[in-house]
């Protein structure tokens, strides 16, 4: 065994190998020494466990492999061929070209983030999106924070702490990823008062629950589930009417934050931001990266007196939006104001793609992939806490594995290990690729990876 250890090369010998030439140019000496040491430690542990001494070549290659694996960023690009448009696990909404350019502009150098150029004095970061949001929503005031979970938390903390907030039993829900309305309420210091029943809540249920210490009525959109059958939920207008008569307000958690009516594309109605404000919600909050199609953010719009209290709450600093997000958000909101959201925002491009365009693209892919591929009818999903269960008809490329070759699960795994990774859907014994969610410039990479794997 001692001989086995002695046969191992030194760190210096490994590092002077010509195969490590490129690494020597790009990495610091210390980083390389560390890699080689750890490779040698692995080899010594293997000898201790009874293995034969690793060859010199395999050690050099081990160092190269470590360099590649350890310095490869963990966050990788994924081509989404699943047909699920908004998927939290793969980063929700892709950004428009303009939003990406805005992020680059603001992160490359300095900006007037909190600086007023005409006066040379301090400015507010909210200014960059407040007016855009106000115009789109028809609201008096607006602000943006880190995400919608923070928007709900800061809204409740700033406006309802130590007081009661009334919510329908059907809306005291979990949105996912540990975001449960009753728990958020505890965090904010507001007291939850549940009214009505799981399936039916009337305006009079809210009315009867009001006490001296009621601060607000809370409405939470059923973003990721649906209750069907014998159901009733007081409308926002009815809730506002009750709140107004008692000098309190409605906090409306819209979830997705839709500005475009999805019924235009054969989908069910989703509460629109502008409708919530028009109905008189004191504060409406929603996500930036669901149906809005922008970066991760939480947007609050509503009455100025309420938004001002939120802006000056100590949590505002803790959940504040960063400059890259602000840049992307502002560019995304501009698409709506310019009336070009369907054409420029990827999420809306995907929703509004025509059947003809999908069929043409699927046909082209199937021809390139070869005899194992054919075009079939299928459904794309909106996904990610938006329009639960809603689908859009689509054309899929179905790939059936060769009888003697790898299984469909193995093919899907190999596609995930490509760079960029490809995510497909599996149905029975076929791999399904949906062109709807594959960005227009990703076809070449997708087909190359599929041909490599299939
Ligand atoms: C998605 C969602 C949230 C959380 O929003 P994030 O932006 O993911 O933090 C909160 N409330 C509702 C109703 C939602 O659908």
pLDDT in tens, 383-442: 876 677 889 999 999 999 988 889 999 999 999 999 999 999 999 899 999 999 999 999
Probe target for ligand 1 pocket from 236, 385, 390, with the most ligand atoms within 8 Å of CB: 385
Q: What pLDDT, on a 0 to 100 scale, did the predictor assign at position 428?
A: 87
pLDDT at 231 over 70: yes
Whether 95-344 and 78-88+348-453 are alike in CATH topology: the answer is no
Q: What's the topology of domain 95-344?
A: 3.40.640
Distance of CA 58 to the CA centre of its chain: 41
The CATH code for residues 78-88+348-453 is: 3.90.1150.180
Probe target for ligand 1 pocket from 253, 281, 297, 387, with the most ligand atoms within 8 Å of CB: 253
Q: Check if the beta carbon of residue 216 is closer than 8 Å to that of residue 251.
A: yes
Q: What pLDDT, on a 0 to 100 scale, did the predictor assign at position 386?
A: 66
Number of Cβ within 10 Å of residue 286's Cβ equals 29
Q: How far apart are CA 229 and CA 252, in angstroms?
A: 24
Tokens of 328: 């992307």
Q: How many helices (H) and strands (E) does the chain have?
A: 20, 19
Least confident of 3-7, 54-58, 164-168, 420-424: 3-7
Q: What pLDDT, on a 0 to 100 scale, did the predictor assign at position 234?
A: 93
Who's near 307: CB < 8 A, 6+ residues apart? 140, 141, 142, 143, 283, 300, 301
pLDDT at 139 over 80: yes
pLDDT at 321 over 90: yes
Ligand 1 nearest atom to the CA of residue 221, by list position? 13
Q: What pLDDT, on a 0 to 100 scale, did the predictor assign at position 389?
A: 80
* Listed residue (86, 24, 76) closest to 292, CA to CA: 86
Q: Is 147 in the pocket of ligand 1 (CB under 6 A)?
A: yes
Q: Is 347 in the pocket of ligand 1 (CB under 6 A)?
A: no
Q: What pLDDT, on a 0 to 100 scale, did the predictor assign at position 224?
A: 79
Number of Cβ within 10 Å of residue 287's Cβ equals 29
pLDDT in tens, 202-226: 999 999 999 999 999 999 998 878 8
Length of the chain: 454
Tell me the average pLDDT across 101-122. Answer: 97
* Parallel, antiparallel or unpaired: strands 174-176 and 179-180: antiparallel
Q: How far from 331 is each of 328, 334, 398, CA to CA, in Å?
A: 5, 5, 37
Helix (H, G, I), strand (E, B), or coil: what is residue 104?
helix
Distance of CA 216 to the CA centre of its chain: 29
pLDDT grade, residue 243 (50/70/90)? very high
Indicate the average pLDDT of the chain. 94
Tell me the average pLDDT across 111-130. Answer: 96
Q: Check if the beta carbon of residue 411 is closer than 8 Å to that of residue 454.
A: yes
Q: How far apart are CA 334 and CA 131, in angstroms?
A: 11
Instruction: Break the chain into its structural domains and give their ranges.
Output: 2-71, 78-88+348-453, 95-344
Tokens of 283: 């504060």
pLDDT in tens, 39-90: 999 999 999 998 888 899 999 999 999 998 888 889 999 999 999 999 999 9
Q: How far apart are CA 215 and CA 95, in angstroms?
A: 37
Q: Is 293 in the pocket of ligand 1 (CB under 6 A)?
A: no
Distance of CA 133 to the CA centre of its chain: 20
Q: What pLDDT, on a 0 to 100 scale, did the predictor assign at position 383?
A: 86
Q: DSSP string of 328-372?
A: HHHHHHHHHHTT-HHHH-HHHHHHH--HHHHHHHHHHHHHHH-TT
Q: Is cis: bond before 420, omega within 30 of 0? A: yes
Give all strands (DSSP E) within 42-136, no chain letters.
78-80, 115-116, 121-122
Ligand 1 nearest atom to the CA of residue 88, by list position? 8
Q: Is 294 in the pocket of ligand 1 (CB under 6 A)?
A: no
Q: CA gyration radius for the chain?
A: 27
Least confident of 66-70, 87-91, 121-125, 241-245: 66-70
The alpha helices in 192-303, defined as continuous H runs, are 203-209, 236-245, 273-278
First to last CA, the chain: 46
Tell me the average pLDDT across 134-138. Answer: 98
pLDDT at 335 over 90: yes
Q: How far apart are CA 144 and CA 322, in angstroms?
A: 10
Instruction: Give me the percent of the chain exceeding a pLDDT of 90.
Output: 83
Q: Is 222 exposed, middle or buried (CB count within 10 Å of its CB: 0-12, 13-18, 19+)?
A: middle
* Listed residue (428, 436, 429) closest to 391, CA to CA: 436
Angle of CA points 150, 151, 155, to nearest 5°: 115
Going by alpha carbons, the residue nearest to atom 6 of ligand 1 is 148
């Amino acid at each position: 065994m001692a001989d086995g250890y002695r046969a191992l090369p030194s760190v210096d010998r490994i590092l002077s190998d010509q195969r490590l030439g490129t690494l020597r140019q790009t990495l610091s000496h210390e980083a390389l020494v560390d890699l080689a040491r750890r490779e040698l430690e692995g080899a010594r542990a293997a000898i201790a466990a009874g293995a034969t001494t690793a060859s010199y070549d395999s050690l050099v290659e081990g160092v190269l492999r470590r360099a590649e694996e350890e310095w490869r960023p963990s966050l990788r690009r994924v081509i989404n061929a699943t047909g699920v448009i908004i998927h939290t696990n793969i980063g929700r909404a892709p950004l428009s070209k303009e939003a990406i350019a805005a992020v680059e502009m603001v992160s490359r150098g300095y900006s007037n983030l909190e600086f007023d150029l005409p006066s040379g004095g301090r400015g507010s970061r909210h200014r960059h999106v407040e007016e855009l949001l106000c115009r789109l929503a028809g609201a008096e005031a607006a602000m943006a924070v880190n995400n919608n979970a923070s928007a709900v938390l800061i809204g409740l903390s700033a406006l309802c702490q130590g007081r009661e907030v009334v919510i329908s039993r059907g809306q005291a829900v979990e949105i996912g990823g540990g975001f449960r309305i009753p728990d958020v309420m505890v965090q904010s210091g507001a007291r939850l008062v549940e009214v009505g029943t799981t399936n039916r809540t009337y305006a009079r249920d809210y009315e009867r629950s009001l006490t001296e210490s009621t601060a607000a009525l809370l409405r939470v959109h059923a973003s990721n589930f649906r209750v069907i059958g014998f159901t009733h939920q007081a409308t926002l207008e009815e809730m506002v009417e009750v709140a107004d008569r008692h000098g309190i307000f409605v906090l409306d958690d819209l979830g997705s934050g839709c500005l475009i009516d999805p019924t235009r594309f054969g989908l069910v109605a989703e509460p629109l931001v502008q409708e919530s404000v028009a109905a008189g919600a004191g504060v409406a909050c929603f996500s930036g990266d669901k149906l809005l199609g922008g970066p991760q953010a939480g947007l609050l719009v509503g009455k100025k007196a309420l938004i001002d209290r939120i802006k000056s709450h100590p949590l505002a600093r803790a959940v504040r939006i960063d400059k890259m997000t602000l840049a992307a958000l502002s560019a995304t909101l501009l698409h709506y104001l310019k009336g070009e959201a369907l054409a420029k925002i990827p999420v809306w491009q995907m929703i509004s793609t025509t059947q003809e365009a999908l069929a043409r693209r699927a046909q082209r892919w199937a021809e390139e992939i070869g005899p194992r591929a054919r075009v079939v009818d299928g459904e794309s999903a909106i996904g990610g806490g938006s329009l639960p269960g809603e689908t859009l008809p689509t054309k899929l490329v179905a790939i059936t594995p060769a009888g003697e070759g790898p299984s469909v699960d193995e093919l899907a795994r190999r596609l995930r290990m490509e760079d960029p990774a490809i995510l497909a859907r599996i149905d029975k014994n076929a791999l399904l690729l949906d062109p709807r969610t594959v960005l227009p410039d990703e076809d070449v990479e997708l087909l190359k990876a599929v041909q490599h794997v299939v």
